[in-house]
């Protein structure tokens, strides 16, 4: 009785970066719920349908995607033309104000601001979707290999992933983007995608490990199903819930990061095609004369990023067994 | 039932005037958009100074909620408490928050089930004991520290001075529960509520903790409300036993009477599910079938009827009324055994 | 931790090798001639096997020899550029982190105590919006409203022109205090306010959310009920029993955010032309000043190690379960 026992709970080991890893791991753990795969998503949908936060996020996202899809056809002006050029006076009136036919006025080259904002949504969508997609594919490959093979491959891959996770994501994206000899939209996408890779890799590997010891995988294994078939048919589909959550959140991050990269001048140098981050960066020059030049693209970025964030956070909540109390 | 009037004296060291008198306590949980749930459904009992009263029942019967309601520790929202709990002439349920804070820890103290999770992991044992005295007795930390060491010694913790500087994770399970008891006793409470104090402990330690509680109650004259699912605990400790089922007291009696001649089928079931050394070999244990989930609503039936081996027609049609008084009685249409 | 530094240094090494033109171009910058190139290549031993090259690279790094800045301050030693800018960024980050902690923790606690109330919902939505707003737009907005429109605070820089101050540490506010030049100190502080508020938004949102979640977890713990059962005053319960436990995950988060501050500083400093590391990095990224970037990445690794250490120490101070093992 006198003895001091130290056999209680495991020590809460901590380190810089641990919180980020914990967050990813908690999400991965959500993949082994009592209800796997499709039914999990269905039951999550039941809760989500009544969640106003999710619905607001969904509405914003749908509106954004639809607008981006039809933008070139509904935009009142050609985004590369300069119909207001004759109104631009570099000394007295660098940015033409609103007038009939030009709802928000023009930019410093006399181009119609409203049309550029509308069409700019396409770039944002393309960058967000492709960056997330590439990040997901990279993470999927690494995570699946690590999670399925285990052993030293797993250790090596995860070691590198952890190091990458410990680097602030934007700094990593800046660094990768600065490597490009000729910056373009695609170097921008790749820079952002590389940042997402370790996040998805860790998430998928965690989900895989959790799956590996779950009952239905053990059952499949005992029936003699081939290992890779188990991975693709049983383990991956069940890891989809957390991946969807992370992908939604990644879209928001990708859009904001893309804006930051463009703002620093690491994005597409071609200024003919509109891009929100770039428009925001160029607006800096006219902060006292025409702050609205910055407000509009910034507003667009915020609303769209918020839409994805709201959707992602409520998805996470719906999939997290802990929050279902 | 004529013999019952002289029983109180037999219940041990009590004067006639109750210290705590709970009458018709009802606790209703209502979550947003969900149906109301009556966790405690009209519970009444008395506790006299120096007496040990047991509240017995399986999980979900409302015994813990009863104790939390008396202590004013139910969550702020989502519940509704009715009835009275008169302690020393004051109804605890209508006391202001700050007045209740003054009572808690000084006049009424509580011991919880899981000693590890009930202790703050990042504060020393010593501090967790002294803070009660600092709060209620106006002592400084310096003045309270030697008293805390005395308390730890009294509850049987060896080398108490050294233990004051320890953190909960450095103590064994039994020692933690002793420390928790020391905190509860710090201001010499007149009423101690113990909510399953031994459930999370090893069997050998359980016996030690029960012996300690018994000794402390006898020494200090503190009244004790013992909440447990374990009739074995009751047998060794309690003067009076209340058996709870579905939020109501279904049987009450002195421990000798109750064990010798249980009337409610649920009490019988609980007694039969305890393994006994003196039982004939090969005799089967008979657990109570079913679970609390099978309960019927008390408003139109006996909640226990679906699980009852003794059920008759009225059991599923009417509410059984209390047959007895404040000291002994039961709530059943078709009781077992003969009158005590 | 050491593993991380080694892996990071290997990554930097690999990154340098993959640079357009290789490490020699990076080191020579614009003063590149074929003769110099050949001489340096021989001097660097680029004809030797990779492990030897790596060892030499590490040796140079340890001696602080990273080459000469090409764009930020052409001709200056890259390490000197970094070091001369460091005090400004330390000052800025320190104030930003202070603001984020001073607001995030109390607000997180209040929101958790009143979970579901309007205060809580409002604060949660505010923090979600905070994540969606790009930090450079926050900076822009603050600059526009407080500096340009209302003229309350300086627009840019670290010190007003004409203020003659003695330099001791390079942290202007601290310098003013040390030398009792109160006017200079006050002036420098006014320059710091807007950038640090902008920079604080990101760590604030994160610290707020973690504090709220953590306090909610702790409020459910049995020991808080024990404290209530002891009749302790709400002040003692709040401080000793709730907050002290809830601070454990928050500590880790604060550590993690320090790294993120550097990324934020790149954007914030460039909006306010605040001459710190971040501003230098923004130029270095845009103009591909690789020697300076190289210093940055290794500095980030050093900061990572230091912060990791600090968080571990802080954790041991708060959590006895780690200390006594």
Cβ of B171 and A1 within 8 Å?
Answer: no
Q: What is the pLDDT of residue B11?
A: 43
Q: What is the pLDDT of residue B339?
A: 56
> Taking 80 as the threshold, does the pLDDT of residue A318 lie above it?
no
Distance, CA of C64 to chain centre = 21
The predicted model gives B282-291 an average pLDDT of 66
Size of interface B-C (CB pairs under 8 A): 83
Q: What is the pLDDT of residue C99?
A: 93
CA distance C321 to chain B (A): 7
Q: How many domains does chain A have?
A: 1
CB-CB contact of A143 with A204 (8 Å) = yes
Of residues A314 and C172, the one with the higher pLDDT is: A314
User: Tens of pLDDT along B207-266?
Assistant: 888 888 888 888 888 899 999 888 877 877 888 889 888 888 888 888 888 888 888 888
Q: C15, C134, C267, C308: best mutation site toward chain A, by most A Cβ within 10 Å?
A: C134
- Distance CA(A61)–CA(C289), nearest Å, equals 39
User: For chain B, what percent of residues have pLDDT higher than 90?
Assistant: 2
> Taking 70 as the threshold, does the pLDDT of residue B285 lie above it?
no
Instruction: Give the residue from chain B lying closest to C242, CA to CA.
Output: B120
C222, C228, C245 member nearest B122 (Cβ): C245
Q: What is the pLDDT of residue B337?
A: 73
A160, A177, A291 member nearest C7 (Cβ): A160
Please give the mean pLDDT across all residues of chain B: 82
Q: How many domains does chain B have?
A: 1
User: Tens of pLDDT along A119-173?
Assistant: 888 888 888 899 999 999 998 888 878 877 777 888 888 878 877 777 778 888 8
The predicted model gives B298-309 an average pLDDT of 81
Q: What is the pLDDT of residue B280?
A: 62
Q: What is the pLDDT of residue A321?
A: 54
The predicted model gives B173-199 an average pLDDT of 87
What are φ and ψ of residue B44, in 5° steps? -130, 135
Q: What is the pLDDT of residue A16?
A: 39
| A109 confidence band (pLDDT: 50, 70, 90) | confident
What is the CATH T-level fold of the domain C78-324, as seen in this structure?
MetI-like fold (1.10.3720)
Q: What is the pLDDT of residue B321?
A: 84
Q: Is the predicted ipTM greater than 0.85, yes or no?
A: no
CB-CB contact of A300 with C174 (8 Å) = no
Task: Note whether residue A222 is domain-resident.
Answer: no
- Distance CA(B147)–CA(B164), nearest Å, equals 11
Domain boundaries, given as residue ranges, for chain C = 2-62, 78-324
Size of interface A-C (CB pairs under 8 A): 153
Of residues A168 and B181, the one with the higher pLDDT is: B181
Cβ of B116 and A6 within 8 Å?
Answer: no
Task: Note whether residue A50 is domain-resident.
Answer: yes
Beta-bridge mates of residue A252: none
H or E segment and range at residue B166: none
CA distances from A142 to A26, A31, A157, A204, B179 (A): 19, 18, 7, 9, 51
Please give the mean pLDDT across all residues of chain C: 78
* pLDDT-wise least confident of A17-26, A140-149, A308-317, C66-75: A17-26
- Distance CA(A40)–CA(C254), nearest Å, equals 34
The predicted model gives B70-85 an average pLDDT of 84
Task: Note whether residue B128 is domain-resident.
Answer: yes
CB-CB contact of B180 with B119 (8 Å) = yes
Task: Note whether residue B137 is domain-resident.
Answer: yes
The predicted model gives A297-301 an average pLDDT of 87
Q: What is the pLDDT of residue B276?
A: 63
Task: Note whether residue A133 is domain-resident.
Answer: yes
Running DSSP on this structure, what letter comes out for residue B340? -
Greatest mean pLDDT range, A79-88, B179-188, C17-26: B179-188
CATH number, domain at A50? 1.10.3720.10
> Taking 50 as the threshold, does the pLDDT of residue B127 lie above it?
yes
Instruction: Give the residue from chain C lying closest to B135, CA to CA.
Output: C232
- Distance CA(C277)–CA(C281), nearest Å, equals 6
The predicted model gives A227-246 an average pLDDT of 74
Residue C213 contacts B, CB cutoff 8 Å: no
Whole-prediction pTM value? 0.79
| C26 confidence band (pLDDT: 50, 70, 90) | low
User: Tens of pLDDT along A280-296?
Assistant: 877 777 777 777 888 88
Q: What is the pLDDT of residue A14?
A: 41
User: Tens of pLDDT along C54-98?
Assistant: 777 777 777 777 777 777 777 778 788 888 888 888 889 999 999
| B338 confidence band (pLDDT: 50, 70, 90) | low
The predicted model gives A231-237 an average pLDDT of 71
Q: What is the pLDDT of residue A164?
A: 77
User: Using CB atoms and an 8 Å cut-off, which of residues 47-86 of chain B contact chain A?
Assistant: none
β-bridge pairing B329-330 and B323-324: antiparallel
Task: Note whether residue A235 is domain-resident.
Answer: no
Greatest mean pLDDT range, A96-100, C11-15, C168-172, C267-271: C267-271
Q: Which residues in chain B are closer than 8 Å to C233, comparing Cβ atoms?
A: 101, 135
CB-CB contact of C158 with C87 (8 Å) = no
CA distance C303 to chain B (A): 29
Please give the mean pLDDT across all residues of chain A: 75
> Taking 50 as the threshold, does the pLDDT of residue A8 lie above it?
no
* pLDDT-wise least confident of A206-210, B57-61, C159-163, C188-192: C159-163
Domain that residue B170 falls in: 111-188
Residue C25 contacts A, CB cutoff 8 Å: no
**Which of B195, B214, B191, B226 lies closest to B105, judged by CA?**
B191
Domain that residue A288 falls in: 18-84+94-209+240-323
Task: Note whether residue A233 is domain-resident.
Answer: no
| C190 confidence band (pLDDT: 50, 70, 90) | confident
User: Tens of pLDDT along A30-81?
Assistant: 555 444 455 566 666 777 777 888 888 888 888 888 888 887 787 777 777 7
Q: Which chains touch C (3 or more CB pairs under 8 A)?
A: A, B
> Taking 70 as the threshold, does the pLDDT of residue B24 lie above it?
yes
Burial B29-57 (b: 16+ CB within 10 A, else e): beeeeeeeebbbbbbbbbbbbbbbbbbbb
- Distance CA(B88)–CA(B190), nearest Å, equals 10
> Taking 70 as the threshold, does the pLDDT of residue C27 lie above it?
no
Residue-wise DSSP of A74-113: H-SS-TT--TTGGG-BTTTBSS---BTTBTT-B-TTS-BH
- Distance CA(C130)–CA(C137), nearest Å, equals 11
């Amino acid at each position: 009785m006198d003895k001091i026992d130290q056999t209680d709970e495991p020590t809460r080991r901590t380190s810089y970066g641990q919180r980020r890893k914990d967050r990813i791991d908690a999400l991965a753990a959500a993949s082994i719920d009592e209800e796997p795969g499709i039914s999990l998503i269905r039951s999550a949908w039941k809760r989500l349908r009544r969640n106003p936060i999710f619905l607001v996020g969904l509405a914003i996202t749908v509106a954004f995607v639809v607008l981006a899809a039809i933008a070139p056809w509904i935009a009142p002006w050609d985004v590369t033309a300069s119909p207001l050029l004759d109104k631009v006076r570099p000394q007295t009136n660098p940015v033409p104000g609103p007038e009939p036919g030009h709802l928000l006025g023009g930019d410093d080259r006399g181009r119609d601001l409203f049309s550029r904002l509308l069409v700019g949504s396409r770039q944002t969508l393309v960058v967000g979707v492709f960056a997330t997609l590439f990040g997901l594919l990279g993470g999927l490959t690494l995570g699946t290999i690590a999670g399925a093979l285990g052993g030293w491959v797993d250790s090596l891959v995860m070691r590198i992933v952890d190091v990458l996770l410990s680097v602030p994501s934007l700094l990593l994206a800046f660094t990768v983007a600065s490597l490009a000899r000729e910056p373009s939209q695609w170097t921008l996408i790749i820079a952002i995608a590389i940042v997402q890779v370790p996040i998805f890799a860790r998430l998928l590997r965690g989900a895989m490990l959790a799956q590996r010891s779950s009952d239905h995988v053990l059952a499949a294994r005992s029936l003699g199903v081939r290992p890779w078939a188990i991975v693709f048919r049983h383990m991956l589909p069940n890891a989809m819930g957390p991946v969807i959550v992370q992908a939604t959140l990644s879209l928001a991050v990708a859009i904001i990061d893309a804006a930051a990269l463009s703002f620093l001048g690491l994005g597409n140098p071609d200024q003919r095609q509109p891009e929100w981050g770039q428009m925001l960066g160029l607006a800096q020059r006219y902060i006292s004369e025409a702050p609205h030049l910055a407000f509009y693209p910034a507003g667009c970025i915020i609303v769209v990023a918020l839409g994805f964030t709201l959707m992602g956070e409520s998805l996470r909540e719906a999939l997290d067994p802990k929050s279902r109390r | 039932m004529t013999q019952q009037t002289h029983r109180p004296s037999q219940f041990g060291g009590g004067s006639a005037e109750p210290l705590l008198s709970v009458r018709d306590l009802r606790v209703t949980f209502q979550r947003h958009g969900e149906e109301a749930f009556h966790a405690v459904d009209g519970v009444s009992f008395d506790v006299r100074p120096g007496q040990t009263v047991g509240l017995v029942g399986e999980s979900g019967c409302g015994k813990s909620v009863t104790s939390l309601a008396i202590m004013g520790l139910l969550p702020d929202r989502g519940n509704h408490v009715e009835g009275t709990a008169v302690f020393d002439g004051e109804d605890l349920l209508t006391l202001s928050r700050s007045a209740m804070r003054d009572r808690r820890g000084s006049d009424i103290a509580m011991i919880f089930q899981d000693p590890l999770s009930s202790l703050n992991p990042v504060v020393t044992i010593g501090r967790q004991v002294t803070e009660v005295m600092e709060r209620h007795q106006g002592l400084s930390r310096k003045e309270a520290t030697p008293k805390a060491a005395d308390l730890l010694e009294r509850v049987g913790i060896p080398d108490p001075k050294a233990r004051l500087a320890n953190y909960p994770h450095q103590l064994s399970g039994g020692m933690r529960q002793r420390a928790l008891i020391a905190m509860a006793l710090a201001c010499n409470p007149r009423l101690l509520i113990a909510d399953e104090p031994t459930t999370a402990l090893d069997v050998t330690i359980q016996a030690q903790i029960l012996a300690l509680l018994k000794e402390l109650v006898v020494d200090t004259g503190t009244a004790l409300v013992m909440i447990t699912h374990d009739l074995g605990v009751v047998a060794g400790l309690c003067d009076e036993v209340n058996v709870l089922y579905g939020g109501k007291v279904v049987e009450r009696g002195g421990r000798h009477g109750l064990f010798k001649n249980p009337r409610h089928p649920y009490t019988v079931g609980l007694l039969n599910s305890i393994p006994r050394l003196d039982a004939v070999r090969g005799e089967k244990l008979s657990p109570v079938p079913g679970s609390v989930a099978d309960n019927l609503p008390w408003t139109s039936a006996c909640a226990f009827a679906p699980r009852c081996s003794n059920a008759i027609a009225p059991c599923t049609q009417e509410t059984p009324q209390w047959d007895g008084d404040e000291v002994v009685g039961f709530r059943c249409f078709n009781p077992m055994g003969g009158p005590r | 931790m050491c593993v991380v530094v080694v892996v990071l240094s290997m990554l930097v090494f690999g990154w340098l090798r993959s640079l357009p033109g290789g490490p020699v171009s990076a080191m020579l910058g614009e003063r590149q001639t074929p003769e110099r190139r050949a001489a340096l290549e021989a001097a660097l031993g680029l004809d030797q096997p990779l492990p030897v090259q790596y060892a030499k690279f590490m040796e140079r790094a340890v001696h602080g020899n990273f080459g000469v800045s090409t764009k930020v301050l052409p001709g200056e030693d890259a390490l000197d550029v970094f070091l001369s800018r460091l005090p400004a960024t330390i000052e800025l980050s320190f104030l930003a982190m202070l603001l984020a902690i001073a607001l995030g923790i109390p607000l997180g606690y209040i929101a958790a105590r009143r979970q579901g109330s309007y205060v809580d919902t409002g604060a949660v939505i505010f923090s979600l919006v905070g994540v969606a707003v790009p930090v450079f737009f926050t900076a822009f907005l603050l600059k526009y409203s407080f500096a340009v429109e209302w003229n309350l605070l300086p627009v840019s820089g670290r010190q007003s022109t004409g203020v003659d101050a003695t330099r001791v540490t390079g942290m202007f506010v601290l310098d003013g205090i040390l030398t009792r030049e109160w006017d200079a100190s006050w002036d420098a502080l006014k320059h710091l306010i807007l950038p640090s508020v902008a920079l604080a938004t990101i760590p604030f949102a994160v610290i707020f959310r973690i504090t709220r979640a953590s306090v909610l977890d702790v409020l459910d713990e049995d020991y808080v009920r024990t404290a209530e059962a002891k009749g302790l005053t709400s002040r003692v319960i709040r401080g000793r029993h709730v907050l002290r436990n809830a601070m454990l995950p928050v500590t880790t988060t604060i550590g993690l955010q320090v790294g993120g501050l550097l990324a934020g500083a790149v954007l914030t400093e460039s909006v306010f032309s605040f001459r710190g590391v971040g501003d230098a990095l923004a130029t270095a990224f845009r103009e591909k000043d690789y020697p300076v970037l190289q210093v940055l990445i290794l500095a980030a690794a050093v900061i990572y190690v230091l912060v990791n250490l600090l968080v571990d120490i802080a954790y041991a101070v708060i959590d006895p379960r780690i200390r006594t093992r």
